[in-house]
Structure 1
Amino acid sequence: MKFILSVILTTLISISSFATDTKIIVRAKAKDAKFIGSSLGGAKVVIRNKKTQTILVQGKTEGATGNTNTIMNTPLKRGERITDDNTAKFQATIPLSEPVFVTIEVYSTIKDNDVRVSATTDLWLIPGKHILGEGIIIEIPGFLVTLDNSKSSQTFTLKELQKNPLKVTAKVVMMCGCPIEKNGMWDATQVEVKALIKLKDNSITEVPLHFKSTNTFEGTVNFQHTGDYEVIVYAYDSTTGNTGVDTAHYKITP
């Protein structure tokens, strides 16, 4: 029995001795913008064995969003980097004894799992063959859209709203947290923001939300009837295809 255990232990030690540390860097880049890093809490990264679905390592990107001029304005030649040592990344070391085909999953910083944006890619990891420098860059499309929580899910009377119509305020931000401003690098005039007003699951009207200040759009909703309303606010950029949505509910009584 002792002999058998000794053989098993020797075998395990022998197998583990063949494992070679393999380093990899993964970065999450917002579409038409910069990198997702510490300022928004980081993008979640999961690296798993595609065949077995076993998670090899996971974590979050940390660091700065990157150099705006380099990322957004500078034409790049082949081999040139758009990142530096401070640019947000997730770096991991994975012990491998043989090549492994992996899936890399990256998730946006949105906390609601039902609408969390994700992107994936597959590649081979080879023992001792590090993927560093620029690393693997995965693009996350869309906007972060957040309605003013202080006003959502409230009850109003129709009488009071006829005197003081409800203002819907939405915060619209690039996935990296970059600012949307009028005539800015991320131009507010390029982003269409509207509220879809629904009563009893029927879309009844659209209300445009206009740019007010950095990342902030606002519009006025005139309710004509009592009932339970759902207000769906979307942001859309026809040039990049970026989109984002948030919802609020209002109960209107007589």
Structure 2
Amino acid sequence: MMMSPYVTQFNLLCQVSLCIQYYSHSKVDAAYPGATQTWQIITREISMYCKLNRHLFVISLFVFLSAFSLDSDATETRLVVYVMAQDAKFIGDFTGGAQVVIKHRETGEILSRGITSGGTGNTEQIINAESMQQTISSDAAFYLARLSIKQPTPISIEVSAPMNFPQSIHQQSLSRWLFPGVEDTPVFVKLAGYIVEGQFELTKNKFNLNDAQLNISARVRMLCGCALSRDGIWRSDNANVWAEINQGPDKLASFDLGYRDESRFSGVIDIRSLKVTDKTRLTIYARSKDGQHTGRWSALISEALKNNRKEIYE
């Protein structure tokens, strides 16, 4: 039985559509997230048109192939981005990596987005390196961006890290030009700052905020996760760590936290005279002596009371 020209044309369209969808999924989707879904939607629309009027087949196929070919002359251009903690090592999996967002500097269009992945690198190699290129080891974390561009493009590279510690996220950005098909030397972005984590508990009267002492412990590290120590590469005596208790904009108390052991600082304060309420907040700050590295962590003191009750009654 002979198939009608319409059926033959429609089958041909389906085959072409499937081929293009496969190509887009394997080649284009890396640069254009969601491209495959776009082809599927267009294919479905063409099918509906063809069922209504077979004469639309030729027009639909032309439009479909034209849409696909719009980016056919775009060239995949790779860019490797390394993010380092200033004065320390690479920011990678250990602290959740660094988010890298590459945008068209003039339009704001996001061209690529991802997280650096890998290790913190080789300590000795980083310390002895005479150039940024020499700091790279096989396990150093990085993000590989694959961008599809047709012409020289002005871009901005925005970096945020470390992603596993929302209260300690620091940001940095830089700009440059990108050229189609030209794989530039790696981009290095340095972030200054500390990761600050806090813990505290009530002692004496654990059920009354106005009749208790507050034991405070802070963990302070470089953004790559490297520890501060008394005699190590990243010195604990270079960091000033202190805590503040605030009631809204009013400071009720401020006191230093002393170094105890690797990356840990602690202190105790009597809060019986501070008129603490459910809105009283404890904030821990860290600042290097040269001011290059800073960090903070904050929480409501009332959470300590809730935690104590939970531990006792459950």
**Normalised TM-score (structure 1):** 0.85
Equivalence map 1:1-254=2 (5 Å): 5=60, 8-9=63-64, 11-72=66-127, 74=128, 76=130, 80-110=133-163, 116-132=169-185, 135-148=186-199, 156-159=208-211, 161=212, 165-199=213-247, 201-223=249-271, 224-228=273-277, 229-239=280-290, 241-251=292-302
Change (3 A) 1:149 1:197: closer
Change (3 A) 1:111 1:121: same
1:146-201 alpha-carbon deviations (Å, 9 max, x no partner)? 111777xx964433x2xxx3210111111000111112111001110011122453
Residue type of the partner of 1:97? K
Kept after mapping to 1: 8 A contact 2:158/2:174: yes
Q: 1: CA distance between counterparts of 2:77 and 2:297?
A: 40
Q: State the aligned residue count.
A: 243
Return the index of the structure with the highest Cα Rg: 2
Q: Hey, which of these two has a bigger chunk of strand by percent?
A: 1
Change (3 A) 1:80 1:90: closer
Q: 2: CA distance between counterparts of 1:114 and 1:197?
A: 17
Q: 1: CA distance between counterparts of 2:90 and 2:101?
A: 17
Q: 1: CA distance between counterparts of 2:176 and 2:282?
A: 42
Structure 1 residue runs without a partner (length 5+): none
**Normalised TM-score (structure 2):** 0.70
Greater RCO, 1 or 2 (C-alpha within 8 Å, sep 6+): 1
What RMSD in Å do the two structures reach over aligned CA positions? 2.6
Change (3 A) 1:173 1:42: same
Kept after mapping to 1: 8 A contact 2:210/2:276: no
Structure 2 residue runs without a partner (length 5+): 1-55, 306-314
Does the residue aligned with 1:180 lie in a helix, a strand or coil? coil
